[in-house]
Amino acid sequence: MNKLKKVIKQSSTLSGLLAYYQRKANPNFVNEVERRKGIDLFDYHALATPLSYYPYFTVKDNNLYGSLFQFSRYINNENALCGLNNIIAEHGLIFGNLVQKHLLYSYPKSILTFSNYRKAIIEQFSSKEVITAGPYIHYATPIIDQQKQAQIKKKLGRVLLVFPSHSIPSVEKKFDKALLVSEIEKYQKHYDNVLVCLYWRDVEIGNDKFYLDKGYKVVTAGHINDWYFLSRLKYIISLSDMTMSNSIGTQIGYCLYLGKSHFLFNQSVNFEKTSNQYKNEIGQFKSISKSQREVSDIIRNAFSDFDENIFPNQLDLMNEIWGFDQIKTPIELYRSIS
């Protein structure tokens, strides 16, 4: 208690106190996160094991997927912790005119997002400063060295990477898995291995068995609270030669940003509520320039063909919606949050 009082007295600002706590992060949590860095990529059960939430950043959303932790590593400046505590981040791409209420009503003075497209939408509802940074995966540090990654890639050969639509703790995604597999089978003869990247929740509820029975290899980027989620996802995508999914999501932009073409299989996906653990914080729709349905159709049309080439119209879309042209250097990012 005396030590805490001394720290408070020496800290001229709340941010200084928060930075102190972050440097003294729970050692059990830190040790477990660092231990998981060394777990083999294909030991997906171990990587998907629930990881207790630890508030490294004061805004809960900023702790998800390790996004802002990776931003702080990228900036490589201890003072960045204070600046990052003054923002709230959209932790994934939200397309169309959907805005989450907690972005608008939480205390941070700034909102972090991907693109100018998202910035313009958010500014329709909020007077907060909106900062753009492009695809967050750019800022993720490597989880293994290049030599080891090259060895694993050589062993796998040509890889088709599949992202099935994923569940969350309170909602399970339901779709015809057999139909998805039949689509994969149209193309898998051109590849040595098919990797299926499952969200940790889908591993937890046993959706991995279906894909294993088809002879596919299952991987995961890790638990939602894992600081190295984005780093592991970057590693997984880098092993691929072609990527595909059956629903629109942040993964499309991440794949193209890392130079991997993407095919979007148009499949019906339903939602089944499994608990009341999480409240629905999705905000209201507003009538602005592009509705969610219109943007969805544009994305689907742009990625409706299975082709390993990346085309100019796709890159134009990536610049507009995913913010490829908004990537910042460490200094630029530090200045934007300060």
pLDDT value of residue 158: 98
Same domain, yes or no: 91 and 199: no
Same domain, yes or no: 116 and 27: yes
User: 99 or 270, which is more confident?
Assistant: 99
- Examine residue 4 and state whether it is found in any structural domain, yes or no: no
Per-residue pLDDT, averaged over 128-156, amounts to 96
Same domain, yes or no: 296 and 236: yes
Among 22-26, 58-62, 149-153, name the one with the lowest average pLDDT: 22-26
pLDDT value of residue 237: 98
Q: How confident is the model at residue 175 (pLDDT cuts 50, 70, 90)?
A: confident
pLDDT value of residue 25: 59
Same domain, yes or no: 284 and 218: yes
Output the six-digit token pair for 324: 């490829």
Residues 13-46: tens digit of each pLDDT: 444 445 445 555 577 888 999 999 999 999 999 9
Number of separate domains in the chain? 2
pLDDT value of residue 22: 52
Residues 234-250: tens digit of each pLDDT: 999 999 999 999 999 99
Same domain, yes or no: 152 and 262: yes
What DSSP string describes 185-221? Answer: HTTGGG-SEEEEE--HHHHHTTTHHHHHHTTPEEE--
- Examine residue 5 and state whether it is found in any structural domain, yes or no: no
Same domain, yes or no: 126 and 204: no
pLDDT at 70 over 50: yes
Q: Which of 75, 94, 254, 88 is nearest to 163 (CA)?
A: 254
Count of CB atoms situated within 10 Å of the CB of 49: 16
pLDDT value of residue 10: 39
pLDDT at 207 over 60: yes
- Examine residue 299 and state whether it is found in any structural domain, yes or no: yes
pLDDT value of residue 205: 87
pLDDT at 12 over 60: no
pLDDT value of residue 6: 45
CATH number for the domain including 242? 3.40.50
- When the pLDDT of each residue in the chain is averaged and rounded to a whole number, the result is 85
| Rounded Cα–Cα distance for residues 128 and 110 (Å) | 5
- Examine residue 47 and state whether it is found in any structural domain, yes or no: no
Same domain, yes or no: 74 and 110: yes
- Examine residue 172 and state whether it is found in any structural domain, yes or no: yes
- Examine residue 176 and state whether it is found in any structural domain, yes or no: yes
Same domain, yes or no: 190 and 254: yes
Domain span at 21: 13-40+52-139+325-337
- Examine residue 2 and state whether it is found in any structural domain, yes or no: no
Same domain, yes or no: 174 and 253: yes
- pTM, full prediction: 0.88
Residue type at position 140: A
Same domain, yes or no: 231 and 133: no
Same domain, yes or no: 220 and 292: yes
Residues 71-99: tens digit of each pLDDT: 999 998 877 877 888 899 998 888 777 77
For 136-192, list the strands marked E by DSSP.
Answer: 159-163, 171-174
- Examine residue 7 and state whether it is found in any structural domain, yes or no: no
Per-residue pLDDT, averaged over 286-311, amounts to 81
Same domain, yes or no: 284 and 175: yes
